[in-house]
Structure 1
Amino acid sequence: MKPGTRLKSAACDTEVMVIRAAEGLIECGGSPMEEAKPTQAAPLAADFSAGTLMGKRYVDADGRYELLCVKPGKGSLSVDGIALVVKDAKPLPASD
């Protein structure tokens, strides 16, 4: 998967842009995300229903995946069943 690819959720309205990705299955709401919006909606898994926030970047613990949320939804993001977390902002350097 190339950076810049837009993925859409089958379980909710969430859409993300891939910033960084390795081999693995990107999911939202417990269902795989694809470039085209699926014709049939998938059920939202209770374990992955925390929601996504527009403009936030989501990353994995190893830093191999980074996704930018461009449209929020009710499902939460995961890779191969492991939840992604919101990336923390870098602190600005102190000005003396």
Structure 2
Amino acid sequence: MSDDQIAEERIDRLAAFARSMTLAGDEDRAREAVRLANRIAERHRCGVPRRFERFTCDACDAYLIPGRNARVRLQEGSHVVVRCDCGATARYPYGE
């Protein structure tokens, strides 16, 4: 296994851990997992999976779960608006 494959596998495991910690209510441990995953991705120059990237807050590093600590809305036009409890907003395109 190469270093990049190990890094990608570790990022995937940290993403799953962050999700489970957020669901369990331990948001501080979830934030640490998100920060660690981002540091590993930077160090190895590999990206994080799109689902992980879109469900983490850039401002506070929280793992976002719609309905629990994030609000997700479809805005007229063609983008999704995700708002974290901290007030940070992210917009992503969808559709054609």
TM-score by length of structure 2 reads: 0.25
- Give TM-score scaled by structure 1 length: 0.25
More helix by share: 2
Query: Which structure has greater strand proportion?
Result: 1
